[in-house]
Amino acid sequence: MTEKVIVSMAQISPVWLDKKATLKKVESSINEASKDKSDLVVFGESLVPGYPFWLALTEGAKWDLKINKELHSHYLKNSVDIENGDLDEICVIAKKLKIAVYLGVVERASDRGGHSLYCSLVYINKSGKICSTHRKLQPTYDERLTWAQGDGNGLKVHDLNGFKVGGLNCWENWMPLPRTALYGQGENLHIAVWPGSDHNTRDVTRFIARESRSFVVSVSSLMKKSNFPANTPYIEEILRNSPENLANGGSGISGPDGEWIIEPIVDKEGVFSCELNLNRVFEERQNFDPVGHYSRPDVTQLIVNNDRQTSVKLISKKNSKNE
């Protein structure tokens, strides 16, 4: 039997720093993907409520600057609190349409006190269940001024129509050990999410596919100067320093031979779908399998800590006499 999966890439812009409005766009894109009989729809990194572009536009590294504090506060209040039910409606739609979802969010993590932000990639299965929330291990450059470091809890793969699907955020895709952690769990459909642009996706998408002998789906967001809402704090300063195009997309799909199936799509908003055949993975693994016949675990091994990290663990000692 040949296993197949239809994957949709939702290359859209956020309603920047507006969680509720952006989630409505996500819902609309999921509905559009279902019209293509999609099994999986993927959204870009930190789409909800948007990438922290202001850090590069407002002297983000300057110490104790009021503009950065106020924008961070605004960002936090519009971030996604999963435990509080912010993604419940997305889960309901996924279950109703029987479609899996990979969604990039900025997560306000209740299990870390609720005041720090994580760049998280959430996987929701066809039954509407959140199966993993992968918090970006290492925020990149100026991202470290607003996002905290994640952990290995979300380094998981999931069954989907015979495939094993896993995902990483942006430059994590350049990190060989997190990639290997997914390969070792049987990943053969790799999801790479990005804030945008084709300069990120054009090389690494094909590289990972060639290295892993897997399908690789890179999905980016879009962001133009005109997408900044007028009610954004310090909007005048942001617009004064902003280029016209901050993220041009670049979503694309590579096959397990490292060749393009869909070349990077630039400056075009929409939902783009493609059917993938698992048999192509089996064919390419014949001569190379990075964690199978072309590995030497007797010489090198990877150890992964997949515990969810937390600063406080509450232990309650029950007194049977008072029960």
Q: Which residues are known to be catalytic? A: 45, 136, 170
Number of alpha helices (DSSP H) and beta strands (DSSP E) in the chain: 7, 13
Give the count of beta carbons closer than 10 Å to the beta carbon of residue 95.
15
Tell me the C-alpha distance between 103 and 100, whole Å: 10
Tell me the C-alpha distance between 299 and 86, whole Å: 45
Whole-Å CA distances, 156 to 23, 81, 166, 183: 24, 21, 6, 10
Roughly how many angstroms between the first and final C-alpha of the chain, as a whole number? 58
Whole-Å CA distances, 71 to 55, 106, 135: 9, 14, 21
Tokens read off for 67: 């503009």
Tokens read off for 31: 């509905």
72, containing H or E segment: helix 66-77
Look at the block and give the residue holding tokens 């894109």.
29
